[in-house]
Amino acid sequence: QSVLTQPPSVSAAPGQKVTISCSGSSSNIGNNYVSWYQQLPGTAPKLLIYENDKRPSGIPDRFSGSKSGTSATLGITGLQTGDEADYYCGTWDSSLSGSPWVFGGGTKLTVL
Amino acid sequence: EVQLVESGGDLVQPGGSLRLSCAVSAFTLSDHYMHWVRQAPGKGLEWVGRSRNKANGYTTDYAASVKGRFTISRDDSKNSLYLQMNSLKTEDTAMYYCVRGYNYAYDYWGQGTLVTVSS
């Protein structure tokens, strides 16, 4: 069971908007930056969002991130079939009992 | 263009050892924290460990699941990061990714190398 909780799956039609939540605690999301990763089938993960809401060069503005308290959200607008992938949130965790870095369990996005 | 290329993955018996390598290019390895992240077949991502940069003494941290069995090292002169894995267990079976740290995130990932632990 992951320290960060994500919904196992979300779906939406092409052109629509979808949000993916990532819930944690004060030891992780509450006091650290959150990043998001996209993993297309059969490929390595790719950084989508860092420091809660910043996009690396080359990431379209259809992708956005936000954080409030101990939760974070990834938003994707104008959905395309090429967005079908697994999405992971991640952050540092200051809890002494676990790993310094934690990922969410991942969310599979289906574009219907 | 920044590149990270892992190698060394193989089929190994439980209790065995394996050393993974990650060759990097187009950036100064000593400036960056470097991490290993793994993904078991059909499962999510799991952080394995990190090597801090030169400014922070190259110190290392590990996930509880591998602590005492895995060791991260690097040779900046060879632009390479390593993961020495001992006392391997079947649950260590996974794709292992070499990852560059950047601004509290991971900005570049290798393509991964597959480690299979089975008798």
Q: Looking at A2-84, which runs of residues are DSSP E strands?
A: 9-12, 18-23, 34-39, 46-49, 63-68, 71-76
What are the backbone angles phi and psi of residue B5, rounded to the nearest 5°? -125, 110
Q: Are B7 and B112 in contact (CB under 8 A)?
A: no
User: How far away is chain B from the Cα of A45, in angstroms, using its nearest Cα?
Assistant: 7
**Is B105 in contact with A101 (Cβ distance < 8 A)?**
no
What are the backbone angles phi and psi of residue A81, rounded to the nearest 5°? -60, -30
Tokens of A66: 């936000």
User: How far away is chain A from the Cα of B52, in angstroms, using its nearest Cα?
Assistant: 13
User: How far away is chain A from the Cα of B22, in angstroms, using its nearest Cα?
Assistant: 15
Residue A96 has pLDDT above 80, yes or no: no
Q: How many CB atoms lie within 10 A of CB B102?
A: 16
- Please check whether residue A88 touches B, CB under 8 A: yes
Q: Return the percent helix, strand and coil in chain A, to nearest 5.
A: 5, 45, 45
Q: pLDDT confidence of B22, banded at 50, 70, 90? A: very high
In tens, the pLDDT along B32-91 reads 999 999 999 999 999 999 999 999 999 999 999 999 999 999 999 999 999 999 999 999
In tens, the pLDDT along A18-73 reads 999 999 999 999 999 999 999 999 999 999 999 999 999 999 999 999 999 999 99
With CA atoms as reference, the chain A residue closest to B60 would be: A100
Q: Which of residues 62-81 of B touch A (CB under 8 A)?
A: 63-64
| Cα Rg of chain A, angstroms | 13
Look at residue A1 in the predicted model and tell me its pLDDT: 76
Q: pLDDT confidence of B106, banded at 50, 70, 90? A: very high
B112 chain-A contacts, CB cut-off 8 A: 44
Residue B1 has pLDDT above 90, yes or no: yes
Tokens of A8: 């196992």
